[in-house]
Structure 1
């Protein structure tokens, strides 16, 4: 076993030397890879760069499986970085955030941090208004994934989560594979297995600003969501268990509109409860990854982002809790609503909602989830 891992490690290093830039060379997005090289919990962190023939670049760190930058062309052919993040691993470690992260074990909220499996009540961490959010305060976004650069367009990340990790049951082996395609899409595939009955719900938590300038709010972005229904929340951001229609409400994005058009209409209680948009939409796509789930467009740059997924839901989060206290890449301060997150997922608190699509993973089963972020331009 030791020899196998040694050989695999040598092969990975050789492959990385072929596919990665020299560690001192800046990325197209201006990142210095050496600022991502350290040890966290005795595990090595690095920055990995994916490029396609069209010139698109995606930079990922194995700390939290995070997308750090995405460079895509705008309507004038200029390359723009369209995600929020930090330019050093130190900031990712020291400033709590979900920027770009591969979230696990459970994306979104679990009510009061409690789940019941086979009659046993399990208490999870309560790190958000009394609920368990994104796997708890030591969720996978703060852990180091084992990185395997497959080639210049593909990175495989593996996380071995022990039984009792944030009190979730089961030894879980999870994989996240990032594939940059030739048509400017990031195809993200998740898989997981367990040796004990557990729950799992993974997602990517990138904060998108398609203008390329997150000093500006993303509220001018045009959003389409292929969903006739959504799951409302209470004042603690927890789903109520209802599924309500979006028709004739500010939650209706079946006709594309600006994110900011209705966002401050706090007379509509859901926007008050969410401090803006921070809700799960029930997709009409029925798990068909060939059907468009959502689309985001910057009228300024013409950059478009189409989202495809086999998941039943998508969380739209409009950066409501960004408050100007965090300084990101290139010294830009991130103010409220500087971004839009589009998190493909099972619905929040599904472990406590047996009538909703199940998030239970049994031994012998394999969890599979896929999300495609496809970029384009409208002139």
Structure 2
């Protein structure tokens, strides 16, 4: 064989090899990290994967600080993805949703979008029945957090929110620290500081379907809420200022029961107003992180989620406004009540309810909040 021909052939093979794109390793949940890489407002987005020694996996994108997938074992030892979401960044950007998001500056609703600080009335965006919901139409769930992976189980996200962001006062630096523990818990710590008096109320808005099959509705899930009272709402989903007992009402989850047991009882005005469950419960836990605030179990998979928090309230939202128009991961259609959200928080509209725990953050203070989602199996 001609020596020059041989060398040329080897060079061609090497060049072809160099031009081949490296294989992208999919996550356990089947996500392709390259599908989460883009630029939004000059900031780079990506997908970050946390894993523990037990084999649990949590995938997070810094776009909106969103939990994209959570893989945990069911009663048969099969790994299941138990949260709703999308499998690419384009859908998160183009399809309005709160799937898995780190919500800020103010989770839930503020009445008519108005707050008063030091006798100064501030008008916030009105994006939900005349109220400001989840920080407004351009809240933090649609912004890019700076991402700093700490180790294989820990991710720190930082959001620098400028003074006047959605008309909220103060330059705020907020952090969300996700820690995947060895006992299959996602420990989320929020913190924030400001240079001007403002309000802060952060939460995670994951949509859980513990069956692992979001094509099926989650009304068979068994729910326990450690709360004797809740905050009723009017027909615009706004809290009335009352705190009332759950006893002898469909709002009573102090004894675990299927979510679907009473959800269609629209003769009970609160379920009609909420189009199902979309309410804040006043927790009995008094900020004690060692007490279970809520527990959710899928009888199909046996997967159980326990929620712990130092917050005074938890919003239970049963996916009432999912309507089959959105397709999520693996092309699955998300129908009404395909999930349950368990959002730890201060009560909705607390800035306008001085009798409730304060959400005001002053310069020199640090806002701190914690939520733990702990997974296990009932066999």
TM-score, L = length of structure 1: 0.94
User: 1:109 Cα shift?
Assistant: 0.1
Equivalent residues in 2 for 1:245-260 (5 A)?
245-260=245-260
Work out the CA distance in 1 between the residues paired with 2:313 and 2:244.
14
- Structure 1 gaps of 5+ residues are 1-21
Task: Answer yes or no: is 1:108 the counterpart of 2:108.
Answer: yes
Q: Corresponding residue for 1:369? A: 369
User: 1:174 Cα shift?
Assistant: 0.1
Q: Corresponding residue for 1:276? A: 276
Q: Corresponding residue for 2:143? A: 143
Q: Corresponding residue for 1:99? A: 99
Q: Corresponding residue for 1:49? A: 49
Equivalent residues in 2 for 1:296-307 (5 A)?
296-307=296-307
Work out the CA distance in 2 between the residues paired with 1:242 and 1:355.
10
8 Å Cα contact 1:100-1:206 kept in structure 2: yes
- Aligned-partner SS, 1:272: helix
Change (3 A) 1:378 1:234: same
Work out the CA distance in 1 between the residues paired with 2:104 and 2:227.
25
User: 1:169 Cα shift?
Assistant: 0.1
Task: Answer yes or no: is 1:158 the counterpart of 2:166.
Answer: no
Change (3 A) 1:57 1:23: farther
Q: Corresponding residue for 1:192? A: 192
User: 1:348 Cα shift?
Assistant: 0.1
- Aligned-partner SS, 1:173: strand
Work out the CA distance in 2 between the residues paired with 1:66 and 1:102.
6
User: 1:83 Cα shift?
Assistant: 0.0
User: 1:24 Cα shift?
Assistant: 1.4
8 Å Cα contact 1:49-1:60 kept in structure 2: yes
Q: Corresponding residue for 1:353? A: 353
Q: Which runs of 4+ in 1 moved over 4 A?
A: none
Paired residues in the alignment total 358
- Aligned-partner SS, 1:250: coil
Task: Answer yes or no: is 1:265 the counterpart of 2:265.
Answer: yes
Alpha carbon RMSD of aligned pairs, Å?
Answer: 0.7
Work out the CA distance in 2 between the residues paired with 1:80 and 1:139.
30
User: 1:23 Cα shift?
Assistant: 8.1
Equivalent residues in 2 for 1:16-35 (5 A)?
24-35=24-35
Work out the CA distance in 2 between the residues paired with 1:238 and 1:97.
20
Task: Answer yes or no: is 1:234 the counterpart of 2:234.
Answer: yes
Q: Corresponding residue for 1:3? A: none
8 Å Cα contact 1:68-1:85 kept in structure 2: yes
Q: Corresponding residue for 1:75? A: 75
Task: Answer yes or no: is 1:183 the counterpart of 2:210.
Answer: no
8 Å Cα contact 1:196-1:363 kept in structure 2: yes
Work out the CA distance in 2 between the residues paired with 1:154 and 1:96.
28
User: 1:333 Cα shift?
Assistant: 0.2
TM-score, L = length of structure 2: 0.94
8 Å Cα contact 1:222-1:256 kept in structure 2: yes
Work out the CA distance in 1 between the residues paired with 2:253 and 2:92.
33
Structure possessing the higher radius of gyration over alpha carbons: 2
Q: Corresponding residue for 2:12? A: none
Q: Corresponding residue for 1:59? A: 59
- Aligned-partner SS, 2:260: coil
Work out the CA distance in 2 between the residues paired with 1:193 and 1:234.
33
8 Å Cα contact 1:23-1:34 kept in structure 2: no
